Amino acid sequence: MQLDAERFQEADKYAAFLRTTEGRLRTDLAWANLRGFVPADASGCHALDIGGGTGTLALRMAELNFEVALLDVSHPMLALAKKETEAKQLGSRISFHSHGAAHLSDLFQPAFFHAIICHNLLEYVDDPFAVLRGLAPLLRQDGKSIVSLLVRNRWGEVLKAAVKGHDAEQATMLLSADTVLESLYGQPVRVFDPDHFRKMVELAGLEPLSMRGVRVVSDYVGCETLTESAYQRLLEFELLLGEQPPLAGVARYIQLIARRPNPSRGQGTI
């Protein structure tokens, strides 16, 4: 399975999804989990957003005074990100790079970034482990710099098929399937087992610090239209649920925060 740039040319469609309750929750929950690991004022710090799309998180990082490199293969996505960057007058803090994750070592210096965001990218690439191995050396090895990884959870997809789709056959198939059809573009996307994903991250040369679930129950409670106050209550509830390991294990997405370990630890193979 390749990262198909053609899949992501409909940038307006993706931007519209991010404005839905599901899209907002995916972004806001991941941001809230990440926010506790980055400084309130990141002046002088550098961040990399790999597969950052329309720049939702890159903009939030720039608002904390990070110097952000936004990397994405989709020109339409980057165009929307640039437009929003200009509207928020953050152009001096965000650079744009139309490349895939395979070019990381050619674009950036080792141990340069204080924070790396890699959300909903590993599902689409041929070799997620190779991407992880490629981004790990870009992270500073100071004990404070972190990488945030967000991937689609196999067990969340099983529950969605069984509970929301009422499709026991599909749910049974997803217990062992490598991919699932995602709803926005109707294309196959990889799913990850939380335990295996943690091991993959460790073998790539990163030390997990926190694993949270993103969207534990909201897909099943009819939250398509909410008032802003109701949305905030749901957001707080989801944050609470995502902190509980048994519930995080069945969330729609897994978010793992990691850092580079002590230099005495070597990298593994998978």
- Return the H-helix or E-strand segment holding 236: helix 228-242
Q: What is the rounded radius of gyration, in angstroms, for the C-alpha atoms of the chain?
A: 18
Give the separation between CA 109 and CA 104, rounded to whole angstroms.
9
- Return the minimum-mean-pLDDT range out of 60-64, 202-206, 217-221, 232-236: 217-221
Residue 243: band (very low, low, confident or very high) from pLDDT cuts 50, 70, 90: very high
Q: Which CATH number fits domain 5-154+180-259: 3.10.105.10, 3.30.470.30, 3.40.50.150, 3.30.450.20?
A: 3.40.50.150
pLDDT value at residue 270:
47
Reported as a single tens digit per residue, the pLDDT across 92-139 is: 999 999 988 888 888 999 999 999 999 999 999 999 999 999 999 999
Give the separation between CA 33 and CA 131, rounded to whole angstroms.
22
pLDDT value at residue 6:
55
Q: State percent of the chain over pLDDT 90.
A: 75
pLDDT value at residue 269:
44
What six digits make up the tokens of 262? 């002590």
Give the separation between CA 148 and CA 169, rounded to whole angstroms.
34
- For residues 65 and 224, which has the higher predicted lDDT (pLDDT)? 65
Residue owning tokens 């239209």: 225
- Give the per-residue SS3 of 123-151: CCCCCHHHHHHHHHHHECCCCCCEEEEEE
pLDDT value at residue 1:
47
Reported as a single tens digit per residue, the pLDDT across 146-177 is: 999 999 999 999 999 999 989 999 999 999 99
Among 25, 247, 23, which residue's Cα sits nearest to residue 156?
247
pLDDT value at residue 28:
97
Sequence ranges of the domains in the chain: 5-154+180-259
- Return the minimum-mean-pLDDT range out of 79-88, 113-122, 190-199, 223-232: 223-232
Residue 9: band (very low, low, confident or very high) from pLDDT cuts 50, 70, 90: low
pLDDT value at residue 5:
53
The b/e string for 7-27 (b: 16+ C-beta within 10 A; e otherwise) is bbbebeebbeeeeebbbbbbb
The answer to whether 259 touches 146, Cβ cutoff 8 Å, is yes
pLDDT value at residue 12:
81
pLDDT value at residue 222:
78
Q: Does the pLDDT value for residue 3 go beyond 70? A: no
The answer to whether 202 touches 147, Cβ cutoff 8 Å, is no
Q: Give the three-state DSSP class for 94.
A: strand
Q: Does the pLDDT value for residue 234 go beyond 80? A: yes
